[in-house]
């Protein structure tokens, strides 16, 4: 059946019309061939690059709607980690083996898993090249590559982390996270320093969480009077949302934690137990601080394969999407979700959950040749664990306005929020979000709002 193009279609609409009208079926009998030539060139309707939180959620939603063998997930790792658990592992509340599942168990069965890395994006030709020599042709692309940790950007840090007797640690990598609790156990006095780097990072609350957990650990063991806890952040404030920053400042004062803002770690001399910081308000001015324990949050960037494709990214290296629709600003058959996207939200699993229904519905609209209409409001959540039995649940949107789910003051430390973070959220993640069923707490928030209204 011939379809007529309206005269005023923009470039994206014309491309979508061409994809839906003239493209060959994404999967054919040729795709299933085991011959070497055909094995190296594959095709799909939707290619999801990345098997992390956002990638798995999108693969589950899309393959459920589109059917078997229409979605390819490009992901090289064998294990999928629930990274929000790393803070609890650092405090000795969880084990590393509780934080991961095999990738084969997490990815949806209707999607095809290509266990290789993406090595080059070519959005002009709708292809991605892989580390195994394949070229995957797609109709639509979802970039969910997350962020990469750049420990090597700080001189001396990698050597310090890989020296067992060094009291330098980090919760951000499964390679180093177990060492955090070891450092806590053998620290009895001196400066215990926690850092926040001068760049966007995933889970911006985590560096504070491990600081508060450590404070509580030393108090429980009667060591706190001999330990000076220091939180050095490159940011000008303790937290970006004033509503919660005010509560956290009271907590810091009450716990006698030293807060230094605009201070960025630039070097580690682990043989001398010295950390070097630059004062960002006075570039070129450095401070040497001795430590008995140093917890480092590493610099982070989008993966090199993403930043190398200049057509796809902003000057800072993140996928250049419309922050409301999560659709690429130039390539309308490209979307991004999670930490790899340029949307100015806090980079958390909660943000990916809230983005997932928006990306899904807008991508399905694009497949049907329609304009995306769903909007992501920037929702993100950060359960700020403040000890072994308490948590402040911060929720907010693009405007940094609190968007709280529960009918209570969420700036207060509560055991209920701690229990939810420690016991309920992992179950929700594995059982619902990884299967494409969890879209964030918006529905729950509406229910509480209705109940509150009815009481009035």
| Residues marked as catalytic | 203, 382
Helix (H) or strand (E) segment spanning residue 54: helix 53-66
d(CA 239, CA 155): 27
DSSP alpha helices (H): ranges in 91-230? 103-106, 157-161, 177-185, 206-220
CA distances from 71 to 101, 107, 118, 131, 395 (A): 21, 11, 16, 19, 32
How many residues would you count in the chain?
456
d(CA 364, CA 370): 9
Angle of helix 349-367 relative to helix 11-22, nearest 10 degrees, comes to 70
Angle of helix 206-220 relative to helix 177-185, nearest 10 degrees, comes to 30
Q: Tell me, what DSSP letter sits at residue 339? A: G
Cβ count near 59 (within 10 Å): 29
Pairing, β 286-290 against β 274-279: antiparallel
Query: Cβ distance 354 to 441 under 8 Å?
Result: no
User: Which pair of structure tokens corresponds to residue 166?
Assistant: 């060094």
Strand, helix or coil for residue 202: strand
Full DSSP string of 66-113 = H-TTSEEEE---SEEE-GGGHHHHHTTSS-GGGSEEEHHHHS-TTSEE
Phi/psi at 119 (nearest 5 deg)?
A: -115, -15
- Annotate 20-52 with b (16+ C-beta within 10 A) or e (fewer): eeeeeebbeeebeeeeeeeeeebbbbbbbbbbb
Dihedral, CA of residue 110, residue 114, residue 115 and residue 120, to nearest 10? -140
Q: Tell me, what DSSP letter sits at residue 435? A: G
């Amino acid at each position: 059946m011939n379809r007529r193009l309206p005269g005023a279609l923009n470039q994206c609409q014309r491309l979508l019309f061409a994809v839906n009208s003239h493209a060959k079926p994404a999967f054919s009998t040729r795709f299933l061939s085991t011959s070497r030539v055909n094995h190296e060139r594959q095709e799909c309707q939707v290619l999801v690059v990345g098997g992390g939180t956002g990638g798995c959620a999108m693969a589950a939603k899309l393959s459920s709607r589109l059917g078997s063998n229409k979605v390819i997930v490009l992901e090289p790792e064998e294990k999928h980690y629930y990274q929000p658990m790393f803070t609890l592992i650092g405090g000795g509340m969880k084990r590393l083996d509780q934080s991961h599942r095999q990738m084969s168990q997490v990815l949806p069965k209707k999607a095809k898993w290509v266990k290789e890395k993406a090595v080059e994006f070519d959005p002009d030709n709708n292809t991605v090249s892989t580390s195994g020599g394949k070229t995957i042709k797609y109709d639509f692309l979802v970039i969910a590559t997350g962020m990469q940790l750049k420990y090597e950007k700080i001189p001396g840090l990698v050597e310090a982390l890989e020296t067992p007797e060094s009291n330098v640690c980090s919760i951000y990598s499964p390679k180093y996270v177990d060492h955090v609790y070891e450092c806590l156990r053998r620290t009895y006095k001196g400066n215990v320093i926690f850092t926040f780097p001068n760049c966007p990072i995933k889970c911006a609350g985590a560096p504070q969480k491990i600081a508060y957990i450590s404070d509580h650990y030393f108090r429980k063991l009667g060591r706190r009077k001999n330990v000076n806890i220091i939180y050095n952040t490159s940011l000008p404030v303790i937290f970006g949302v004033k509503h919660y920053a005010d509560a956290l400042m009271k907590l810091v004062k009450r716990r006698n934690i030293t807060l230094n803002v605009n201070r960025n770690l630039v070097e580690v001399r682990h043989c001398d137990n010295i950390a070097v910081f630059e004062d960002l308000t006075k570039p070129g001015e450095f401070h040497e601080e001795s430590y008995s324990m140093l917890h480092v949050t590493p610099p982070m960037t989008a993966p090199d394969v993403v930043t190398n494709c200049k057509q796809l990214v902003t000057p800072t290296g993140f996928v250049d999407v419309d922050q409301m629709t999560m659709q690429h600003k130039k390539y309308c058959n490209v979307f991004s979700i999670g930490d790899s996207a340029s949307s100015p939200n806090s980079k958390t699993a909660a943000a990916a959950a809230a983005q997932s229904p928006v990306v899904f519905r807008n991508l399905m609209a694009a497949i049907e040749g329609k304009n995306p209409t769903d909007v992501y409001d920037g929702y993100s959540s950060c359960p700020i664990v403040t000890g072994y039995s308490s948590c402040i649940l911060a929720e907010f949107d693009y405007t940094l306005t609190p968007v709280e789910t529960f009918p209570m003051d969420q700036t207060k430390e509560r055991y209920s929020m701690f229990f939810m973070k420690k016991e309920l959220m992992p179950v929700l993640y594995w059982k619902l979000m990884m299967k494409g069923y969890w879209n964030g707490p918006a529905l729950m928030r509406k229910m509480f709002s209705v109940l509150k209204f009815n009481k009035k």
